[in-house]
Amino acid sequence: MKRKGILSKIVLFLTLSLIVASCAGITPAPEGTHLSVVAVSDIHSNVLPYEAKVTRNDEKVTIIVGGMDKIAALADGQVGLTDGTLLVSGGDNLMGFFYSSFDGVPEITSMNMAGYDVSCLGNHEFDLGAEACKEAMKNAEFPIVSSNMTIKDPEFAAMVDPYIIKEVAGIKIGFFGLMTPDLPRVSSIGSDIIVDPDLTSVSIEMVRALRLEGADIIVALTHIGKELDEIVAREVAGIDIIVGGHSHDTFFEYVKGPGGWKTIVVQAGVNAKEPGILSFDVVGGRVKSPSWETVLLDETEASDEEIAAYLNEYKEKLDEKMEKPVGETLTDLDAISENVRTKETNLGNLVADAWVDWFAKYGSSPIALINGGTIRGNRIFNRGPLTYGDLLEIIPFSNTIYEVSLSGKDLLTVLEMSASAVRVEGDACLEESV
């Protein structure tokens, strides 16, 4: 029987209700309860298994990893090992060609089938705009939390809670969510969504509200990156666990906050290659004896056959689109992330030159500038035919190209600002003291 999350939306009790509950007597949380949290973030629509390189016997080999079918099986495998398990997401469940091809339906539906308990939103959910994100989230049967977003669209706003409480094995676990303050800069949210950048104040308010609601344990699901996770943990007492995303790190750490409070901060990489399992005891209302492991979802891991069969229908449709040849390259194209973000590459030149050529057809003689982070793939595209899938792997986002007029002086300033952002060993920017 699959582990399924049950959503219980919690409303803020009136002070009188709290007094009545106190007088009536509240059953204390069970002591020594053993729980686990299966953490997945930044899956980027990779709900189907995909190829990845790993090191085995000191050699780099390509294997098949990931997939929502294996995520579900991993979470189901915790049943019987603990008193209760929660499957959660740190955002960026949607992204790229798969998202734009099927409107997020297979991603969200397979998350429902896997029994996700709660998720926050990530910036890539908004790659196709707020309306597309809303339509995708209509399929969610699990709660979505975001505490620092104001959504003006009432229909969309009703889908997103600032916080929730779920009871697992008698333990009330409160969840709240945080979105990166960079959302307006990196995604297409329009003017109907406002992100509060004061993560500390928002978190303090969420901790207060959840404690008033009777939460025994508080978990922040965040899509703000490791650095901001650590700042929140240092500045806010009362958060027991932060399950993060956005920076694609894999780590477990304790961060000391106000009054000696310690918060566990974890993140489980990217693309669900190695989800994390955080296991712990709840004793005296605190998290005790935590352990953290990541699990490589390779061919040795179990699969949920129902989810695999459901997603295979979309794989067949996707393959038909992706395998269509659209051109040919006479040389290898460099899409390695470290290269396209720090120096000139032939692929960066190709993309920029393609823009110049397109605008030249309409009478312009432009100079094309492209953000290195726009180019994805993080691999070498070998000489030979290029398919539609190759192009969408290289440029997965629906970015808008703008034509503006700049003076030579302005252009020089732009180039200097870009060059100044590159960090190299030995420069003053990497020194701890300036």
The identity of residue 297, as a single letter, is L
Q: What is the 3-state secondary structure (H, E, C) of 117-135?
A: CEEECCHHHHCCCHHHHHH
Given this model, what pLDDT does residue 239 score?
98
- pLDDT beyond 70 at 19: no
Answer for the pair 47, 101: CB distance below 8 angstroms, yes or no.
Answer: no
- Class of residue 71 by CB neighbours under 10 A (exposed 0-12, middle 13-18, buried 19+): buried
| 8-state DSSP, 273 | S
Confidence of residue 23 (pLDDT cuts 50, 70, 90): very low
Class of domain 325-430: alpha beta
Q: Tell me the average pLDDT across 38-59.
A: 92
User: For 129-285, where are the alpha helices, taking DSSP H only?
Assistant: 130-137, 154-157, 183-186, 199-212, 226-235
The mean predicted confidence, pLDDT, of the chain is: 88
Q: Tell me the average pLDDT across 272-296.
A: 96
- pLDDT beyond 80 at 397: no
* pLDDT tens per residue across span 377-394: 899 999 999 998 888 889
Given this model, what pLDDT does residue 10 score?
32
- pLDDT beyond 80 at 241: yes
Whole-angstrom Cα distance, residue 207 to residue 176?
A: 9
Confidence of residue 405 (pLDDT cuts 50, 70, 90): confident
Tell me the pTM. Answer: 0.77
Answer for the pair 172, 216: CB distance below 8 angstroms, yes or no.
Answer: yes
Distant-in-sequence, close-in-space partners of 347: CB < 8 Å, separation ≥ 6: 333, 334, 335, 340, 375, 381, 394
Given this model, what pLDDT does residue 225 score?
97
Whole-angstrom Cα distance, residue 139 to residue 99?
A: 13
Other CB atoms within a 10 A radius of the CB of residue 163 amount to 25
Q: Tell me the average pLDDT across 108-127.
A: 97
Q: In the chain, what percentage of residues exceed pLDDT 70? A: 90
Q: Tell me the average pLDDT across 227-245.
A: 98
Given this model, what pLDDT does residue 31 score?
60
Given this model, what pLDDT does residue 2 score?
52
CA dihedral sign, ordered 11, 12, 15, 18: positive
The identity of residue 326, as a single letter, is V
Given this model, what pLDDT does residue 9 score?
34
Other CB atoms within a 10 A radius of the CB of residue 342 amount to 14
- Inter-helix orientation angle 105-114/68-76, to 10°: 10
- pLDDT beyond 80 at 27: no
Answer for the pair 126, 78: CB distance below 8 angstroms, yes or no.
Answer: no
* pLDDT tens per residue across span 307-325: 999 999 999 998 888 888 9
Fold of 17-315: Purple Acid Phosphatase; chain A, domain 2 (3.60.21)
Residue 358 CA to its chain's centroid (Å): 34
Given this model, what pLDDT does residue 110 score?
98
Q: Tell me the average pLDDT across 44-69.
A: 92
- pLDDT beyond 80 at 4: no
35 DSSP β-pair partners: 84, 280
**Residue that the structure tokens 């034509």 belong to:** 403
Given this model, what pLDDT does residue 245 score?
97
* pLDDT tens per residue across span 160-210: 999 999 999 999 999 999 999 999 988 878 888 999 999 999 999 999 999
Confidence of residue 12 (pLDDT cuts 50, 70, 90): very low
Given this model, what pLDDT does residue 229 score?
98
- Domain positions in the chain are 17-315, 325-430
* pLDDT tens per residue across span 195-205: 999 999 999 99
